[in-house]
Amino acid sequence: MTSSKHAFPIRHCLLVLGSALALAGPGHLYASDCSRTSVGFIPLNDLQFGSYKGNRGGLYPDGSNLIPLAHQLGGLKQAQQVIPRDPTGQPSTTGKIGLLGIGMSNAAMEFAGFTQKALLHPALNPDLVLINGGIKGMTAAAISTTPSPTAALYWSTVDSRITAAGLTRAQVQVIWLLEADAGPSGDDIAYARTLASEMTTILQITQRRFPNLRLAYLASRIYGGYSTVTLNPEPYAYVSGFSAKWVIQDQINGHPNLNYDPSKAAVSAPWVSWGPYLWADGLTPRSDGWTWSCEDFADDGTHPSVQGVDKVGDSLVSFFAGDPTTAGWFLLR
């Protein structure tokens, strides 16, 4: 699928991927520690009814990996409103659907890999435009702290990329969010709570900026055990999964600052769910077989290599093509 409406986004994604790999690649004074093939943490989807430091596992409340039916029905209702829209946001048979990636350098690289893979899917919806809003150094703290010069720069750059892709804010209807904070220290659960709060704020910001935003999908960090730098190592990469889980759980539990249903109260955020959970304990397979090898990472053990980017890209395409809340607008109807 190589229609002109995708031309700018894929060129941009390739540039992002190349520059990010250069920043994290050979020639630096550090190298991945490939001996750390496990850190001993249990992935959330396998932890389920167990706990980590008193926090129950599972991707959803009560240790479950199954999305609650009421929440899925809410997502399906929102997905029905993800339709081609004109620049003013009105439904149009010649309109577009914007899917925007948001986050830091890992998000930029992984969304670039996803875009490359998605454009090869034979059933990709030609009305869909993928926009990479991932930017190096733009952490959760940086883009959620408003007003601030850094946040203003981030969101204005995202606006520029939307415009360059031929869209307006009113046509952005779905986001994919991957975030973390740089150089975390101290208690990892306290960090995860802070990150969850920042992610909630980011979702609120996107809801205000994009009037037709309906759906948001959260991802966890990938494995951080090979990391030799303090950027975002373990256990902080692991607990980012709890951050995403808690945001989703808060919405399921009816927290007003994440309300997406206008029949209940003022809308403050899009509908939120997983999209998808990416962490695994190095070479120790998850129950679904997912692992992370040292070759999946660049030399800092934090950013994915080309192989790692491909791996995430394949996972994201599989998710968006198969999830009940996404398949109807991601693929040809």
Q: What is the pLDDT of residues 293-317, one digit of tens each?
A: 999 999 999 999 999 999 999 999 9
252 in a structural domain: yes
SS3 218: strand
Name the strand (E) or helix (H) holding 195.
Answer: helix 188-209
**Which pLDDT value is given to residue 2?**
35
92 in a structural domain: yes
**Which pLDDT value is given to residue 30?**
60
Name the strand (E) or helix (H) holding 142.
Answer: helix 140-144
55 in a structural domain: yes
Q: Is the pLDDT of residue 199 over 90?
A: yes
**Which pLDDT value is given to residue 333?**
78
Query: What ranges make up the beta strands (E) of the chain?
Result: 51-52, 55-56, 97-103, 128-134, 172-178, 215-218, 271-274
**Which pLDDT value is given to residue 31?**
76
**Which pLDDT value is given to residue 279?**
98
Number of domains in the chain: 1
Q: Distance between alpha carbon 47 and the CA centroid of its chain, in Å?
A: 21
**Which pLDDT value is given to residue 22?**
43
39 in a structural domain: no
CB–CB of 19/135 below 8 Å? no
The confidence band for 11, taking pLDDT boundaries of 50, 70 and 90, is very low
Dump the DSSP string for 53-79: TTEE-SSSGGG-SSPPHHHHHHHHHHH
34 in a structural domain: no
Residues 24-44, mean pLDDT to the nearest whole number: 78
281 in a structural domain: yes
Closest Cα partner for 59 from 215, 216, 248? 248
**Which pLDDT value is given to residue 25?**
39
- The average confidence (pLDDT) of the chain is 93
**Which pLDDT value is given to residue 7?**
40
38 in a structural domain: no
Terminal alpha carbon distance of the chain: 15
- At 201-257, the pLDDT tens digits run 999 999 999 999 999 999 999 999 999 999 999 999 999 999 999 999 999 999 999
- CATH classification of the domain holding 299: 3.40.50.1110
The confidence band for 12, taking pLDDT boundaries of 50, 70 and 90, is very low
- At 99-144, the pLDDT tens digits run 999 999 999 999 999 999 999 999 999 999 999 999 999 999 999 9
CA distance 133 to 208: 17
276 in a structural domain: yes
Tokens of 113: 């890999």
Q: Is the CA virtual torsion 206, 316, 302, 7 positive or negative?
A: negative
SS3 307: helix
Q: Cβ–Cβ contacts within 10 Å for residue 37, how many?
A: 17
Amino acid letter, 201: T
**High-pLDDT (> 70) share of the chain, %:** 91
Per the structure, the complete domain to which residue 70 belongs is given by 4-27+44-330
